[in-house]
Amino acid sequence: MVNCVVRNWQGEQVGETTLELRVAKEENASHIVHRALTRQMNNARQGNASTKTRSEVRGGGRKPWRQKGTGRARAGSIRSPLWRGGGVIFGPKPRDFEVKMNKKERRLALRTAFFSRTEDIIVVEEFAEQFQRPKSKELLSAIARWGIEPDTKVLLILPEPQLNVYLSGRNIELVNVILATSLNVYDVLAADKIIVTSTAIAKIQEIYGE
């Protein structure tokens, strides 16, 4: 269990909240998080790169010249891999990169990854009412008030869809806005700082706590 300071819209400390998640044992933690990260990145691959073998390239059915007597090397097809415009040897073909991992392991890895970032987590009060319309400048100012440097990669976790907040963050290059229900290992580890609302913290513990 870890105590986290809660900040308001102005950046002032207004209270505390606790983060309590069941995580992997220390000797297994890095291994299970690495497996989950590798799985997520592999499963994101499209696997649709494709090349044609000599049998699939159009043309080349006729022997280019006779076997003997020309002084040139023997050739049976203009679609040989040795020829320009020919087939490709051992080129990529569509394939599935999917890596399987048990649901319990995936959730344990996610809890472990998130809990390992407690020093970089900033908990803030709900601020959706501050955005009557999308305003990236307002969100940037708030991030600065919460003590985050301008060149920091930020993950902003919301408890539910908040259109104006999402649209405000979408324009900012180093800010990634996701929902608590869409938490994933890659985003948690890739960010330098994690901003999470107090409601989102409660939701994360409710959804991933078991």
Whether the pLDDT of residue 71 is over 80: the answer is yes
For the chain, domain boundaries? 2-42+101-208, 46-96
Contacts of 24 (CB under 8 A, 6+ apart): 32, 33, 108, 109, 112
Segment 162-188, tens digit of pLDDT = 899 999 998 889 999 999 999 999 999
The confidence score (pLDDT) of residue 188 equals: 94
193-197 and 121-124: which strand pairing?
A: parallel
- In whole angstroms, what is the distance from residue 91 CA to residue 51 CA? 6
- In whole angstroms, what is the distance from residue 108 CA to residue 91 CA? 38
Q: What is the mean pLDDT of residues 130-149?
A: 89
Q: What is the mean pLDDT of residues 145-162?
A: 90
Q: What is the mean pLDDT of residues 41-60?
A: 93
Among 174, 118, 181, 116, residue whose Cα is nearest residue 150: 174
The confidence score (pLDDT) of residue 24 equals: 87
Which fold, 2-42+101-208?
Ribosomal Protein L4; Chain: A; (3.40.1370)
Q: Are 138 and 131 in contact (CB under 8 A)?
A: yes
Contacts of 12 (CB under 8 A, 6+ apart): none
Banded model confidence at residue 83, pLDDT cuts 50, 70, 90: very high
Backbone angles phi, psi at 105, to 5 degrees: -65, -40
- The fraction of the chain above a pLDDT of 90, given in percent, is 56
Measure Cα distances from 181 to 34, 48, 205 in Å.
21, 29, 11
Q: What is the mean pLDDT of residues 204-210?
A: 81
Banded model confidence at residue 107, pLDDT cuts 50, 70, 90: very high
The confidence score (pLDDT) of residue 210 equals: 63
